[in-house]
Amino acid sequence: MKKKNVVIGTIGAVAAASATYLAAGRIAIEKVCTRCKKEKVGLKHPISEDDKQWLDHQTFIDMEITSYDGLKLEGQFLPYPDSNKLVICVHGFHSYHYREFAYYIRFYHELGYNILLPDNRAHGQSEGHYIGFGWLDRLDILEWIKKMEEYFHNEPMSIVLHGISMGGATVLMVSGEELSDNVKAIVADCSYTSAYDEFKYYLKNKGCPPFLLLPSATLLSKKTVGYNFKQASAINQVKKSKTPTLFIHGNQDHFVPTYMALELYNACQAEKKLLIVNDAAHGESYHKEKKLVQSNITHFLEKYVD
């Protein structure tokens, strides 16, 4: 009888531990992978009065696509007359298009680009509950590319993909897909190597041992959010890439560590360039060294964009 009670007690303890383990994973997913309850508004950095007035005088066109899983995704489009050049700007985690790319709009416009600013799924004006961390978003960007090719009557185009943070990971994940010949170049700023790697780094940095949450969250992620955190890998995608890519990263990035940029750069099989910006924190390279970043983007794109 005692032996039986020990076995039953052991089974009960294991079951309770397993339930707690999975519950912790579910909580982590709901906390990190869902739409922000209080979305950030306004710009991340001040903008000059001259640029603000210029932006206020531009006429943006509302654009919309339906994702492969039925979500309405919204974007803003700023045309440039008689130009076949287009940049698609992809924002980061818990942000929205204008918050991160308002600073780039005039820059790209003066280079003669049409500009598309989509809101990622579960961000801004777009529908969705779960955040894609680049993996689901890569399919959304492919749909945006098709949408814009149709908008330009399927004429030859030169498309650039530019992403920041999670947006940087997104455009790198796009790079591993079969892309239209119109996609000429990619600019990836402060991307992580994979969602799993980023979560692992973040937890360690916060003093939380990753083994307490990450394995259970990863186990549940496929069923809950539609992808596995390890599957959401920019580094695996750039190994298949044929698209010239400019990698940008700050050497004081303690959110997505700089070594990830080096790993991505080394893994990338396409033509590539790496710009490490001194004293720049996460997503701060453009604001720390605006002229340097603009110059590198301009010269890089001149090589590949018709």
DSSP assignment of 31-64 equals HHSB--SS---S-SS---HHHHHHHHT---EEEE
- pLDDT bin (cut points 50, 70, 90) of residue 21 is very low
Q: What is the mean pLDDT of residues 236-252?
A: 99
Whole-number percent of the chain with pLDDT over 70: 88
Lowest mean pLDDT among 33-37, 41-45, 282-286: 41-45
- 20-29, 54-63, 222-231 — which one is most confidently predicted on average? 54-63
- pLDDT bin (cut points 50, 70, 90) of residue 27 is low
- pLDDT bin (cut points 50, 70, 90) of residue 28 is low
Lowest mean pLDDT among 16-20, 123-127, 298-302: 16-20
- Residue 141's CB is within 10 A of a number of other CB atoms, namely 26
CB distance 24 to 203 below 8 Å: no
Hey, what's the torsion of the CAs at 159, 164, 166, 171, to 10 degrees? Answer: 20
pLDDT in tens, 133-164: 999 999 999 999 999 999 999 999 999 999 99
Query: What pLDDT is recorded for position 210?
Result: 65
Query: What pLDDT is recorded for position 41?
Result: 64
- pLDDT bin (cut points 50, 70, 90) of residue 178 is very high
Pairing outcome for strands 72-78 and 114-118: antiparallel
Domain 44-194+232-304 class?
alpha beta
Residue 267 has pLDDT above 50, yes or no: yes
For the entire predicted model, the pTM comes to 0.90
Closest residue by Cα to residue 78 from 56, 106, 59: 59
Residue 20 has pLDDT above 90, yes or no: no
Query: What pLDDT is recorded for position 214?
Result: 85
Residue 234 has pLDDT above 70, yes or no: yes
- pLDDT bin (cut points 50, 70, 90) of residue 258 is very high
Lowest mean pLDDT among 4-18, 42-56, 74-88, 112-126: 4-18
Q: What is the mean pLDDT of residues 270-291?
A: 97
CB distance 268 to 245 below 8 Å: yes
Q: Average model confidence (pLDDT) for the chain?
A: 89
Query: What pLDDT is recorded for position 12?
Result: 38
Q: What is the mean pLDDT of residues 281-291?
A: 96
Of residues 153 and 36, more confidently modeled: 153
Query: What pLDDT is recorded for position 45?
Result: 82
pLDDT in tens, 78-121: 999 999 999 999 999 988 888 899 999 999 999 999 999 999 99
- Residue 295's CB is within 10 A of a number of other CB atoms, namely 12
Residue 256 has pLDDT above 80, yes or no: yes
Please count the CA atoms within 13 angstroms of the CA of 149 that sit on its side-chain side.
16
Report the chain's terminal Cα–Cα distance, integer Å.
Answer: 82
CB distance 234 to 172 below 8 Å: yes
Distances, alpha carbon 277 to alpha carbons 36, 44, 285, in Å:
30, 19, 6
Query: What pLDDT is recorded for position 269?
Result: 96
Closest residue by Cα to residue 115 from 99, 98, 128, 92: 98
The two tokens of residue 193 are 């190597």
Lowest mean pLDDT among 13-17, 71-75, 186-190: 13-17
